[in-house]
């Protein structure tokens, strides 16, 4: 994939994911704010309703007492009657109608004891409305006058009286102590009823303040907190400036608001997490595919180089054999035929390695296993690489401490595993290869350690050396021959043998490959 196209694709995917996260975050924040505003609205409406109910209840209580007291008094202190009279005439039938609308006001001086105030007496009025119609009929000559009076209505104007009572009562009740006007139990009852009706389940504490000073009317654990406390005026009297305020503190406000959106928020977070995981996986796969593509390109380049050298050598040897002068020189012929045979084996070995990995990946490689002694396989493997080690002036020493070495294995492939590790130890030794092999028994296992004193490897390289096609970059990719398949093959074969392999290494101080296999009795 083109680098620019790859970068654009990653950028678009990242921007899309960030956009999704932003939208989800905005939605959750907006939902929380909406629910919080709704909670505040419900609470404010509740407080207004409770304040109004308490005030109406107080007026109702005293008005009922007042009404009964006024109705029991027969003789008023003063009576005033005002009447509005107007007439209409009809000349054709000599009829005259007289309409009367009268107001009877009876003043009463009431003792203040029934209202429990400090005022000596209170004046109230009983107001009665009387409406009547009088019909007057006269003869043609003006004689024979007859009249008929009809009472249209005669009733107490109780609404008017009540309004008058309320206006007067404001100033009277303002001088009454707050604890005589309302109780903590009444406030708690009304608040609970109203809040439940509006779907608010949060616990609350309350208190009544008078001009910013706390009164005795409060719940046990009330605390005045700005972010969770709401207020509403109670028994307001602007004339006498006796203002009371009801404060209500909702301790579980945040929890209730959060719980109201928790379900959808959790689903949103789960889906967003799934998207992030899918994005991370896709991104990882993209980088991995790109990396594999690069590694495969390096592999092809390296394999090309691996084959070009033996092919060129074989071509040169064939050209030399065509020379008529050397046809009868048996030493010369033997030397060049040996070169052709060695180079051909080298190419064949490379092809076999590639085919082995391909078959392993397709699970087509048949690995029949039998009882073998690991020490015997070690001797065979050492014999395969012994000449190369001697040629470079090195050594392979064995320290076989394991008393038991019988394992269930495939001889050919387990031999290849050890040869691959020994071959790496030789190739990655700048000087003469120095290799020590150790075995020991640990419980029901045999531990094989192959230690070299080569160039070693970093921690980052150690994590990846068993990956297919992976080779450590050393500046010139061809300064150490190989194609990154050897250790991948080793790992795959040991997995099939239910074995394990680890590596311990330090840059410049060599490497130790540790193989763990199960013993059989």
> Cβ–Cβ contacts within 10 Å for residue 350, how many?
18
According to CATH, the topology of domain 366-518 is Heat Shock Protein 90 (3.30.565)
pLDDT given at position 167:
67
Question: CB neighbours of 181 closer than 8 A, spacing ≥ 6?
Answer: 58, 173, 235
Residue bearing tokens 């932003």: 22
Higher pLDDT, 470 or 402: 402
List, for residues 196-228, the tens digit of each pLDDT value: 888 888 888 899 888 778 888 888 888 888 778
Phi first, then psi, for residue 223 (nearest 5°) are -135, 135
pLDDT in tens, 96-125: 777 777 777 766 666 555 555 555 556 666
Q: What percent of the chain has pLDDT over 70?
A: 72
Q: Which of 204, 206, 218 is nearest to 253 (CA)?
A: 204
- Cα 142 to Cα 96: distance, rounded to the nearest angstrom: 13
Distance between CA 36 and CA 253 in Å, rounded? 8
In this chain, the answer to whether the domains covering 257-343 and 366-518 adopt an identical fold is no
What residues form DSSP beta bridges with 446?
Answer: 441, 517
Fold of 257-343: Helix Hairpins (1.10.287)
Least confident stretch, 4-13, 232-241, 396-405: 232-241
Q: Scanning the structure block, which residue is given the tokens 């990396």? A: 291
Determine contact, residues 517/409, Cβ cutoff 8 Å. yes
Beta strands in 211-320 (DSSP E): 213-218, 229-234, 244-250
124 compared with 21, residue with greater pLDDT: 21
Residue 454's closest CA among 420, 428, 481? 428
pLDDT of 482 reads 47
Q: Is the pLDDT of residue 139 over 60?
A: yes
- 436 CA to centre of own chain: 55
Please name the residue that has the structure tokens 């595993």: 417
Residue 448 — pLDDT band, cuts 50, 70, 90?
A: very high
* Percent of the chain scoring above 90 in pLDDT: 13
Q: Which residue has the higher pLDDT, 187 or 3?
A: 187
How many Cβ atoms sit within 10 Å of the Cβ of residue 58? 17
Residue 203 and residue 252 in contact, taking contact as beta carbons nearer than 8 Å: yes
Token representation of residue 59: 């007026």
Distance CA 500, CA 451 (A): 17
CB-CB contact of 378 with 515 (8 Å)? no
Query: What's residue 78's pLDDT?
Result: 66
Pairing of strands 95-111, 229-234: unpaired
E strand map for 68-145: 78-90, 95-111, 121-137
Q: What is the rounded average pLDDT for all residues in the chain?
A: 77
- In this prediction, residue 110 carries a pLDDT of 62
Q: What is the pTM of this model?
A: 0.45
Q: Regarding predicted confidence, which is higher, 177 or 450?
A: 450
The domains of the chain are located at: 3-59+177-251, 73-173, 257-343, 366-518
Distance CA 294, CA 288 (A): 10
DSSP-H helix ranges across 178-252 = 178-181, 184-197
| Contact (CB, 8 A) for 482 and 471 | yes
Tell me the C-alpha distance between 435 and 430, whole Å.
13
Locate 446 and state its tokens: 């045999």
Q: What is the pLDDT of residue 480?
A: 46
Q: Which one-letter DSSP state was computed for residue 123?
A: E
For residue 478, the model assigns a pLDDT of 39
Rounded alpha-carbon distances, angstroms, from residue 495 to 409, 516, 518, 521: 12, 11, 12, 21
């Amino acid at each position: 994939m083109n680098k620019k196209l790859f970068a654009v694709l990653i950028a678009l995917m990242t921007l899309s994911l960030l956009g999704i996260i932003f939208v989800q975050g905005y939605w959750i924040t907006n939902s929380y704010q909406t629910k919080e505003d709704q909670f505040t609205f419900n609470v404010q409406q509740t407080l207004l309703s409770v304040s109004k109910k308490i005030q109406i209840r107080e007026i109702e209580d005293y008005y009922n007492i007042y009404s009964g007291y006024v109705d029991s008094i027969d003789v008023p202190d003063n009576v005033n009657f005002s009447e509005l009279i107007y007439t209409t005439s009809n000349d054709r039938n000599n009829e005259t109608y007289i309409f009367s609308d009268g107001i009877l006001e009876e003043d009463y001086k009431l003792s203040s004891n029934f209202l429990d105030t400090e005022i000596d007496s209170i004046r109230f009025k009983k107001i009665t409305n009387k409406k009547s119609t009088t019909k007057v009929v006269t003869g043609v000559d003006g004689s024979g006058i007859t009249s008929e009076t009809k009472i249209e209505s005669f009733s107490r104007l109780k609404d008017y009286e009540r309004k008058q009572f309320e206006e007067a009562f404001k100033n009277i009740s303002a001088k009454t102590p707050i604890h005589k006007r309302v109780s903590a139990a009444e406030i708690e009852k009304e608040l609970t009823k109203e809040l439940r009706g509006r779907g608010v389940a949060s616990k609350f504490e309350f208190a009544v303040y008078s001009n910013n000073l706390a009164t005795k009317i409060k719940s046990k654990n009330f605390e005045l907190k700005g972010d969770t406390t709401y207020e509403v005026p109670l028994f307001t009297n602007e004339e006498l400036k006796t203002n009371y305020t009801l404060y209500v503190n909702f301790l579980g406000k945040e929890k209730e608001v959060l719980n109201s959106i928790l379900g959808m928020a959790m689903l949103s977070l789960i889906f967003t997490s799934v998207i992030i995981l899918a994005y991370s996986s896709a991104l990882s796969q993209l980088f991995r595919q790109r990396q594999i593509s690069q590694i495969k390109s390096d592999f092809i380049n390296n394999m090309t180089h691996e084959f070009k050298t033996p092919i060129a050598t074989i071509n040169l040897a064939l050209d030399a054999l065509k020379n008529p002068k050397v046809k009868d020189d048996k030493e010369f012929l033997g030397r060049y035929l040996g070169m052709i045979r060695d180079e051909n084996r080298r190419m064949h070995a490379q092809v076999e390695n590639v085919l082995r990995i391909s078959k392993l990946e397709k699970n087509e490689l048949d690995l029949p296993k039998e009882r073998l002694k690991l020490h015997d396989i070690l001797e065979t493997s050492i014999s395969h690489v012994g000449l190369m080690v001697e040629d470079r002036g090195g050594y392979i020493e064995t320290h076989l401490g394991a008393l038991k070495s019988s394992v269930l294995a495939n001889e050919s492939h387990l031999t290849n595993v050890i040869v691959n590790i020994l071959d790496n130890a030789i190739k990655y030794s700048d000087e003469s290869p120095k290799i020590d092999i150790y075995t020991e028994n640990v419980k029901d296992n045999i531990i094989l350690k192959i230690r070299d004193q080569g160039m070693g490897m970093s921690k980052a390289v150690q994590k990846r050396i068993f990956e297919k096609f992976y080779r450590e970059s050393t500046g010139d990719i061809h300064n150490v021959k190989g194609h990154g398949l050897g250790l991948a093959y080793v790992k795959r074969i040991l997995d099939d043998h239910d074995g394990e392999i680890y590596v311990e290494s330090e840059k410049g101080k060599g490497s130790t490959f540790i193989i763990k296999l199960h013993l059989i009795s």
